[in-house]
Structure 1
Amino acid sequence: MNITIKDNISEVVIAPDLGASILAYTYIANNKSISIFPNRIGVEDVTSTACFPLVPFSNRIREGKFTWQDKDIQLPLNQLPELHANHGHGWQVKWQVIEQSDASVTLSYSYTSNDWPFPYQAIYRFELQNGELLQTLTLKNVGTSEMPAGLGLHPYFSRTKQASLVADVSKMWEVDHESMPIKVIDAPSCIQSTSGMVMNSHQLDNTFIDFPAKAEVSWPEWNVKADITASENCKFMVVYSPKEEDFFCVEPVTHSPDAINMHSQGIENTGFSSLRPNKEMSIWMKVAPKMSH
């Protein structure tokens, strides 16, 4: 059962049963309805929706394997034929509605330990105000041992021919053919220019480091922009822009891909973190559309 939240100029459709995903985010500009996120109402595959939560880790863990506190852990490979565990659990499960109003909804999901041997609770809140969508994702360790922990959000933005992205980032992880990180390299300089990176001209599946937790998406054809802001602990930004699609993703996340394994190998600037029992971590992301002049 989908849930629709709305305010005076925007509307968001959320599917608690489909990985707490967003199926549509529309904004009224120039008396027209603009799809900030592409309309995915009716899809049945979470990775084809318009946004989903990344919990309790973001992106890929190489071959689903890592060692934690002297214990070897093997996670299921959850996006076959990919050879890695991807994006945690939240996107694969049904969430419960715990609070709802006209312009907001809060969902929860409780995980009891299985292949990932750390029980946790996740709370995911959506709020609309004056067209701005605020998403907050919280992870609490409800187990008795420390757990590796990471969070992210995976929004898909509508892609027009001229759609562009601006962010003050200069470095990114180069990746191999499996989108796994190899080394830090210079980012395309156009992403820092005032006109931005035109998404149709770049095929990316890369994680930008030292993300200042803000970016801007522009759609010149619509005379609309959107400011993206995130919590300070989102020090990484994943940009996914596959060829010839109607979307691109700008994902604020707390760590790089495979951070847990890279951290254990002594690699720096991975964003790896852990949570002690009964402790929480949270992230937030706000998308604020506006008319551009």
Structure 2
Amino acid sequence: MSSELIMLAAGDAEVGLAPGNGGRVAGLRVGGVELLRQGERFGCFPMVPWCGRVRDGRFRDGGSVRQMPLNAPPHAIHGTTREAAWRVASHGATEAVLTYDLVDPWPYPGRVTQAFTLTPDSLTLTMSVEAYDSSFPAQIGWHPWFNRNLDGGGADADADADVRIDFTPAWQEERGADHLPTGNRVDPEPGPWDDCFGMPDGVDVTLTWPERLELKVASREEWVVVYDEQAEAVCVEPQTGPPNGLNTHPRLVTPIDPLEATTTWSWRRL
């Protein structure tokens, strides 16, 4: 796994991309302050060609049942690309494009493209999935790990400086004992969360580090998973369908109809 980063910069914002480590955003610094949890598993990784867990690693495509590796037993989780090496298609001062050709264990040939655009006060991530010949179901999503505390966390961190998550979902997907949606929609419940929410007017979640920074996660997609059960970081994950969506909300990608999604993170100083 290559640790080489490619860097984008605009104003006092800096982004490090790790093509060799899942095509992830390895870091986002604003005014010298790192917003993403550091480590080879963290930053912000793409979830593709599915998001979250797939029940028992199986999904149906027409008359065929496909089996994915159980990397979160008894389920498969977060797609097949987050530990793979991506290719750098282009790289400028404020923009970059990475690509990945879908290979085994994903049973269908295709290509994933990620585009990154940085401005002094925003980062836009766009991802698309193309099918070469056979059509297939797919999902797109992003899994950012935002630092809970911008002062480094730990025992000495000021809990009053921890991030606050604000959003107004229309519903919450009821979560079963297996961490998968049951298919029932319930009124949103208070956290802590490892849950999927519906926002039919588009994802709109605000993270506020008191007296430091406000960051808005926005997307035209209507699904977002919020995970805040870890002490070090919180996750706000826009995606094109809920967990297990290859089975419950399949979106067919065809050679003439790719799947594309975009999320923008915008920030301002407080």
On whether the aligned pair clears a TM of 0.5, the verdict is yes
AA aligned to 2:116 is F
- Verify the 8 A CA contact 2:110 2:130 in the aligned structure 1: yes
Q: 1:76 aligns with which of 69, 75, 98?
A: 69
Count of matched residue positions in the alignment of Structure 1 and Structure 2: 254
CA contact (8 A) 2:167 2:204 kept: yes
Identify the match of residue 109 of structure 1 among 74, 91, 100: 100
- Compare 249-258 and 171-180 and name the one that shifted more: 171-180
How does the TM-score come out when normalised to structure 1? 0.82
- RMSD of aligned alpha carbons: 1.6
Residue aligning to 2:187: 186
| Pairs within 5 Å for 1:134-283 | 134-143=124-133, 145-160=134-149, 161=159, 162-182=162-182, 183-188=184-189, 202-211=191-200, 212-222=202-212, 224-230=213-219, 232=220, 234-243=221-230, 245-262=231-248, 270=249, 272-283=250-261
Please tell me the residue identity of whatever aligns with 1:237. Answer: V
3-state SS of 1:92 partner = coil
Structure richer in helix, relative to its length: 1
Question: Partner letter of residue 243 of structure 2?
Answer: P
CA distance in 2, matches of 1:278, 1:109: 19
Structure 1 distance, partners of 2:177, 2:211, is: 33
Answering whether residue 269 of structure 2 is matched by residue 291 of structure 1, we say yes
Unaligned runs of 5+ in 2: 150-158
Tell me if the contact between 1:210 and 1:235 (Cα under 8 Å) persists in the aligned partners.
yes
DSSP 3-state at the match of 1:260: helix
Alignment partner of 2:35: what SS? strand
CA distance in 2 between counterparts of 1:175 and 1:12 reads 34
Task: Name the residue aligned to 2:154.
Answer: none
**Offset from partner CA, 1:193-236 (integer Å, 9 cap, x none):** xxxxxxxxx321100013522221111142x1012211x2x110
Provide the rounded CA distance (Å) in 1 between the counterparts of 2:118 and 2:246: 34
- TM-superposed deviation, 1:172: 0.9
- Aligned equivalents of 1:260, 1:171: Cα separation in 2: 20
Matched, 1:53 2:36: no
Structure 1: tracts of 5 or more residues without a match: 190-201, 263-269
Cα pair 2:89 2:98 within 8 Å, conserved = yes
Instruction: State the distance in 2 between where 1:261 and 1:213 align.
Output: 22
Are the equivalent residues in 1 in contact too, given 2:80–2:106 (CA < 8 A)? no
2:34 corresponds in structure 1 to 35
User: How many Å apart are 1:260 and its aligned residue?
Assistant: 2.8
Q: Quick one: distance in 2 between partners of 1:187 and 1:248?
A: 18
* 2:76 aligned residue: 85
Deviation, structure 1 residue 26: 0.8
What SS does the aligned partner of 1:91 have? coil
Deviations 1:164-213 (A, max 9, x none): 12222031112233311123221136xxxxxxxxxxxx321100013522
Letter in 2 for 1:229: A
Q: Are the equivalent residues in 1 in contact too, given 2:98–2:115 (CA < 8 A)?
A: yes
Q: Distance in 2 between matches of 1:35 and 1:220?
A: 15
Letter in 1 for 2:93: D
**Percent same amino acid among aligned pairs?**
24
1:171 & 1:164 partners in 2: Cα distance? 20
